[in-house]
A and B are shown apart, each in its own frame.
Chain A
Amino acid sequence: MRSIHVPLPPFQRILDEHGAAVHRYCLAQAGPDHGPDCFQEAVLAALTAYPKLRDGSNLRSWLFTIAHHKVVDHHRRQARRPQPMPELAAISAAPTSTGPVSGLDLGGGELWAAVGQLPEKQRGAIALRYLADLPYAEIAEVLGCSEAAARQSVRAGLTRLRSEVSR
Chain B
Amino acid sequence: MTPTRDPLVDALRSVSAGDLAADLDAAIGRAERDGLVDVGYEVTDSPVGPLFVAVTDAGVVRVGFSREPVDAVVEELALRVSPRVLRSPRRTDEVRRQLDEYFAGRRDHFDLGVDWRLTRGFRRTVLERLYEEVPYGRTVSYLELAVRVGNPRASRAVGTAMATNPIPIVVPCHRVLRTGGHLGGYGGGLPAKRLLLALESGEAPLL
Interface residues of A (CB under 8 A from B): 7-13, 15, 19-20, 23-24, 27-28, 32, 35-36, 39-40, 43-44, 47-48, 50-51, 56, 104-108, 111-112, 115, 126, 130-131, 133, 158, 161-162, 165
Contacts and interface: CB of A to CB of B under 8 A. Distances in A.
26 contacts: A7-B83, A8-B78, A9-B78, A9-B83, A10-B74, A10-B83, A10-B85, A23-B20, A24-B17, A24-B18, A27-B15, A32-B17, A32-B18, A39-B23, A43-B27, A44-B34, A47-B31, A47-B37, A105-B16, A106-B16, A111-B8, A111-B12, A112-B12, A130-B9, A131-B13, A165-B8
A155 B76 CA distance: 44
A106 B14 CA distance: 8
Contacts of B85: 10-12
B67 interface: no
B20 A19 contact: yes
Contacts of B94: none
A7 B13 CA distance: 33
Contact of A44 (B1, B27, B41, B87): B27
B11 interface: yes
B26 A47 contact: no
Contacts, number: 113
Nearest to A110: B11
A45 to B, nearest CB: 10
Contacts of B9: 130, 158
A23 B22 CA distance: 11
Contacts of B12: 108, 111-112, 115, 126, 130-131
B84 A50 contact: yes
Contacts of B8: 111, 158, 161-162, 165
B: interface residue count bin: 35 or more
Nearest to B12: A130
Contacts of A28: 15, 17
Nearest to A9: B78
Contacts of A131: 12-13, 15
Contact of B16 (A24, A32, A111): A24
Interface in B1-56: 1, 8-9, 11-18, 20, 23-24, 26-28, 30-31, 34, 36-38, 41
A51 B15 CA distance: 33
A27 B17 contact: yes
Contact of B24 (A23, A56, A115, A133): A23
Nearest to A161: B8
